[in-house]
Amino acid sequence: MIALSLAEIAEIVGGDLRPAAGHDPASIVSGVVDTDSRQMTPGGIFVAKPGETTDGHRFVGAAIENGAVLALVEHPVDEAISQIVVPDVVVAIADLARAVVARVRASGDLRIVGITGSNGKTTTKNFLARILQDEGETIAPIASYNNEVGAPLTMLRITDTTRFLVCEFGASAPGEIARLAGLVHPDVAVELMVGLAHAGGFGGIEETARAKAELVAAAAPGGTAVLNLDDPRVAGMAPLAEEQGLRIVGFGQGPAAAVRAAGIDVTASGTSCIVHVDGQELPLRLQVLGAHHVNNALAAIAAARALGVAPADAIVRLETVQLAERWRMQPMGGAEVRIINDAYNASPDSMAAALRTLAQITGPDERTVAVLGAMSELGETAGDEHDRIGLLAVRLNIQRIVVVGADARRLFLAAVGEGSWDGEAVHLADADAAFEYLQGELRPGDRVLVKSSNSAGLRFLGDRLGESFS
C-alpha cells in the first residue's frame, strides 16, 4: 500500500485511532493489507474480519508476530499494536481502497481494468496481467479475489509506481458489482458473458445480465467497454456503454468483432486460432486447454489494445502462459493417465465447455472419463441444468461418467436415462468413494476430467488422482 499516516487512515475509514506505545498519529505505515494473519509482513495492516467459523480478532496476536503494526478492528483487543476501531471492517477497507486508488490516480499514470462475467474472469485476468506486466508495474488479484473483501485488498496492493490495476468483479446478488467497480471507476470495462452461474442469487438470467452491466455503468467517462459480441446479452450492453460515453470494442468469433478468432483448433497440448485485428491475421497458440479460453484471450487482447499494447505483442506474451490458474483446466497425472482438474468452480456453461474439451482432446485409442460433482447456486434451475449436463455427457460419447455426491444425483439419472448404463455411469457418495473406485477403474490411455463447483470439493480429488497417476 502507499505510505499513509495512522491519522490519515483513521480519517479515511472514519475510525477511532488508538496508537500503541511509541506510535503517534503521524506514524507512517505502508505494508501489506490482509485479513489473513499468516500473510502479514513487517509493517503490515491486519484486518480483523469476523467470519462464519472464526473471528479475525482472535488472530491479532499472530499478525503482530508476523510483523503487523496496525489492526483494523470492530472492537478493541488487548494486544500491543496500534488499532483503528470501526463499525465494520469490510466497509472500512472499501473506503480505504477508494481513497488509495484516487490518490495514486491523481498523482501518477494509473490505468484500471475491470473484468466481470459469469465465467472466465480469473483466466482473463491472468491473461491480461501477463500482457501488461511487460509494460509496467501491474497489480492483479490473487486467485479469485473478486468479492467485497478480495477486490479492495487487491486495490490496496498498489503503490505510487503502479501503472496498471486489473480488478476482477464477481457477484451473487444485484448491486455488488456496482459497489465494487464504483470504488475505482475502471478505464476499461470487460464484459465476458452472461450465464447461469449464481443465478439463484440474482433470480434469473435477465437479472444476471442487469447485474453484470453494472460494470459498464461504473466505468470512467471516456473509457472503453470491451464486449463479447458472441453473447447477445453482453452485446445488448452497447447502448448503455454509449450513454456512458464509452468507446465500444467488440470481441468474439462473429464478423462484427473488432478482435475476432477463426480456425480454432483444440488438442491435448493446447488451443490455437487465427486472431483478426486491425487488418492483421495473427496466429495464436495457447498452452491452456479448451476452445472456451479463446474468447478469454480475445478479451485480454482487446483490453490491452485499449491501453496501447499492440496485439502482436499481446499474443507473444499470451503464448507463454502455461496454466490459467490452479484447478482450472489444470493438466495433471502422467503420460498414461492424464487428469484435467477443473473443479475450482462450475456453472452449466463452464461444465459444458469442459466436457466438450475432454471429447476434443481424446484420441481414438483413448478413453474419456468425466468425474462430475454438483453445480451450486443455480436456484430453481438446478435440477434442469444438472439434467442437461447429464444428457450432454452421453451425447458427447463420454465413456465413463462418475457422478459424485447427493446434490449431483440428477446428473447421474439423466445420463442413465439417455443411455449410459451397464456401468458406463456410476453414482458415488463422496470424493473418498470416487477415489477408491477410480483407482481400480482407470487404465492407460484414459483422459479424465474432474469438474464441479468449489463447494463439492472435487478439486482435492483431482489433486489426489493427479498425484496417484503421476
Q: Residue positions in the annotated binding site for ATP?
A: 117-123
Q: Cα(112)–Cα(168) distance, rounded to whole angstroms?
A: 11
Is 25 exposed, middle or buried, given 0-12, 13-18 or 19+ CB atoms closer than 10 A?
middle
What Å distances lie between residue 322 and 11, 127, 331, CA to CA?
Answer: 44, 10, 10
Annotated binding site: 117-123
State the pairing for strand pair 247-252/259-267: parallel
Q: Cα(327)–Cα(465) distance, rounded to whole angstroms?
A: 13
Q: Cα(247)–Cα(304) distance, rounded to whole angstroms?
A: 14
Q: Cα(99)–Cα(288) distance, rounded to whole angstroms?
A: 37
